[in-house]
Amino acid sequence: MIRAARSADDFALCVEINNAVNPDSPVTAEQLATATGVILVHEDGYAYVDRSSIPGSAFAMVRVRPESRNRGVGSSLLAAAGESARDLGCTSMWGRVREGDDESMRFVAHRGFEEVNRDVDVLLEVSPGDGEVAPGIVELRREHLPGTYAIAAECIPEMALPQHAEVRPYDEWLEREERHSPVAFVAFDGEDIVGYARLYSVPALPHRLENGLTAVRRSHRRRGVATALKRAQISWAAANGYREIVTSMVTGNDAMRAVNERLGYRPLPAWIVVRGPAG
């Protein structure tokens, strides 16, 4: 039977399932309990559904215990996820399948999902003294938020290509931006904010941080702004005892991939982005 997760036992069950399926991407019960989306629980799996920056398309994730697959659990959870997506006014869903997981790709393909892109994950090992904060780079303060939102509105449509993304309304954007985020940096050209970059904690891995959106105005690209922002993040991470930073980007974002390569990020297994009908 599928139900909405509400109790501590429900969230603990989802943690157990997720961490068995994705040991390299663990989660905590607190993380799930404070998530903004809907979590649908089955004793052998769970689904997560949330609004996304892709208009008309919800983000969806289905996880089933390896020993419980091919028993209809995943199909039931995907159907329930589709119903939740339709409740959000969405006609489609998108999600990610780990590269090399042929069984899951066959599962989604048989249900009308198609590959639309790939996300490349990379990881940087951080050591004390790494990074630097260049002139013009400062930690984000409250008065910087309107300027960073304007940059997000300019840059977010480029994030999910070939899908079209849109920035969320300001209050919703801010709530999600600041969730689990210990620090962000902005880049100035004179008195104008021309870029920003945010770091997120990884609750299940306290030694690791995750890069959020690194955004630079089109007028100031190819000037080293993104590199300077990331080097400031590395400096902050090293000074605060973190040992790793991970980040994800679409395969078509060649400029950011080049920046990460120059900074020493090494590739991890990719994710296949798939999109299909919400029921």
Band of residue 80 on the pLDDT scale cut at 50, 70, 90: very high
Instruction: Name all domains of the chain by residue range, CATH numbers in brackets.
Output: 3-90 (3.40.630.30), 123-268 (3.40.630.30)
Question: Per-residue pLDDT tens for 68-79?
Answer: 999 999 999 999
Q: Is the separation of the CB atoms in 248 and 271 below 8 Å?
A: yes
Say yes or no to pLDDT of 139 above 70.
yes
Q: Which residues pair with 125 in a beta bridge?
A: 244
- Exposed e or buried b for every residue in 213-238, given b needs 16+ CB within 10 A? bbbbbeebeeeebbbbbbbbbbbbbb
Question: Per-residue pLDDT tens for 169-224?
Answer: 999 999 999 999 999 999 999 999 999 999 999 999 999 999 999 999 999 999 99
* pLDDT score of 161: 62
* CA proximity to 104, closest of 73, 59, 82: 73
